[in-house]
Structure 1
Amino acid sequence: MNPMNFRSLEDFWAFYVSQHSKRATRHWHFVGTFLSIFFLMFSIFFSWWFLFFVPLSGYGCAWYSHFFVEKNVPATFGHPFWSFLCDYKMFGLMLTGKMDREIKRLGKRPVLQGF
């Protein structure tokens, strides 16, 4: 499948999971998503100034993991909206302890590069 031609979010999800094959990559994403939620709440309750840290923490941790841990290109560059949705799906699955089961469900898939 050409990564440019995803027909559904589920198709993209399989690609997304393949791009997060290393546990450390997923952990960096979890930390970044958690921090972005934290800073969003902090900005709502204390000061709008903290909004600056929402994308900085979320994307900073995620992109670090792709460049230095997974050694691939972040899917955000080619599919920003679907990547955003899948990041929160992965966060939820990790939070509930179901991400490893999801990885097994999807099985070994080819790692696609590009957009």
Structure 2
Amino acid sequence: MSQETPQQFNTFAEFYPYYLSEHQNMTCRRLHFVGSTLILLLIAYVAMTEQWVLLWLLPVLGYGFAWVGHFFFEHNKPATFKYPLYSLLGDWVMYKDMLLGNIKR
């Protein structure tokens, strides 16, 4: 079995177009958007109530919605598996781009 060698990206600016190419399915993007919104709401709730134990839900919300989008709609492996830090940043840049209308959601 041969394993695909990950592409090398020197900057996030080089990575982001690749990241967007891995998120062409609208349902996948919408699931990312929902998960990211729930993360922000959870952080706000925890900050207001000081129920710190709820922070364990952050990866469940963030990755749960995104991975459903990838496995069932986009039919690819999340970029997180190969590029964890750039992918985390990509999630939030894509979220901002969707909020601003630069990417259809």
TM-score (norm 2): 0.88
Instruction: Give the partner amino acid of 1:56.
Output: V
Deviations 1:66-99 (A, max 9, x none): 0111010000011111000010000001111111
Distance 1:10 1:3 in 2: 17
Matches within 5 A, 1:11-22: 11-22=14-25
Moved over 4 A (4+): none
Separation (CA, whole Å) in 1 of partners of 2:40 and 2:59 = 10
What's the % identity of the aligned pairs?
A: 37
Aligned CA-pair RMSD: 1.2
> Which position in structure 1 is the counterpart of 2:72?
68
CA distance in 2, matches of 1:15, 1:23: 16
Aligned mates of 1:86, 1:40 — CA distance in 2: 19
Matched, 1:87 2:95: no
Q: Does 1:58 align with 2:41?
A: no
Alignment gaps of 5+ in structure 1: 101-115
> When the two structures are superposed, what TM-score results if normalisation uses the length of structure 1?
0.81
Amino acid at match of 2:29: R
8 Å contact kept, 1:40–1:51: yes
Helix, strand or coil: the match of 1:99? coil
Alignment partner of 1:4 out of 7, 14, 17: 7
- The answer to whether the Cα contact below 8 Å between 1:42 and 1:50 also exists between their aligned partners in 2 is no
Counterpart of 1:55, as a letter, is: P
**Structure 1 residue aligned with 2:33:** 30
